[in-house]
Amino acid sequence: MKKILFAFQLVLSSIAFGQYIENATLKFEKLDETVSAKDVVYVNDKLIQFRNTNYPYVLSYAKLKKLEKFEFDSTQFHQNAPKLNETFSEKREGRGVYLTIDDLINGNLTEMPFRSKSIGLGLYEYTNDLIDVVDYETKKIKDIAGVLLNGYVYVSVKHASDHESKDEKGSFVLKHGVHTFVRVKYMGDDFLYFEMPLQTMGNLIATTAVGVGIGGAIGGALAGVVSTNSPADYRPIIMYFSKKEFHTIKNCKNFNEHFERQNSTIRINCDNDDYNLNNIRRTIITEL
């Protein structure tokens, strides 16, 4: 198999928007170590997105001008990116709305025509992580628990706010319109999980390394070339099916206190950089 090694100049001339590389090795300026990357997608003439295999639970973005080498096998290159799963759960079939939270949990879908607009750009990992939903008369669809769109489950922001857990009362910070819907990142056997940012779209873009979305704070020299955000920029939200309440995690201490109340042994070390989006997702998805 032929290995193709790109210098920075060749990357610009050889890769076009939307092209996809399954696996690659990246070398950034001022960094001795290389990065093993998968699902590399060329976003534009300045940016690539990928998953760092050391931090597989977050989507990373990097500036091409920081890239010194780009190595991959020719068989790993594709002209067009496949439709990658943008969550950590299997997709559901159909399209429609969930009238109640029980319907959402059990997958009882009600067919209802609606139009959606993706509005998560600069605020979430993917622009489709946040959507606005209207019917065909351009009216907001009110008083439903969620929607199913393109195989993904979305929770009503208003419903989550109205059903906040008393244990974390006051933690939920409503930064979106009350008729917007946030995509569920993981649906477990007895809980669901997603995140919401704390800042407004403009503020988060201004403080994001490359202005495209959240990417877990991973620390070290890599943070200088790969998108990172402080855990203070977002809050994890968990809903347990048994009580149907939304628990919003404020910080690392609150994370550990929450799971102590749940009689769980799940903990994250708050004395170092372990409290980051990659570890939060990994812990909840694999241990809860």
Give per-residue pLDDT as tens, 165-189. Answer: 988 766 565 567 778 999 999 999 9
CA distances from 231 to 118, 139, 215, 219 (A): 24, 35, 10, 12
**Ranges 22-26, 196-200, 240-244, 280-284: which has the least confidence:** 196-200
**pLDDT for res 175:** 67
User: H-helix or E-strand containing 205?
Assistant: helix 201-207
Count Cβ atoms below 10 Å from residue 252 Cβ, excluding itself.
Answer: 19
| 205 touches 285 (CB < 8 A) | no
**pLDDT for res 63:** 80
Give per-residue pLDDT as tens, 20-55. Answer: 999 999 888 877 888 899 999 988 887 888 898 988
Q: Which CATH architecture has domain 3-78?
A: Roll (2.30)
What token pair was written down for 77? 């290159």
β-bridge partners, 191: 240
Give per-residue pLDDT as tens, 215-253. Answer: 433 344 455 445 444 555 678 999 999 999 999 998 899
Domain map (residue ranges) of the chain? 3-78, 96-287
Q: How far apart are CA 248 and CA 239, in angstroms?
A: 9
- pLDDT surpassing 70 at residue 208: no
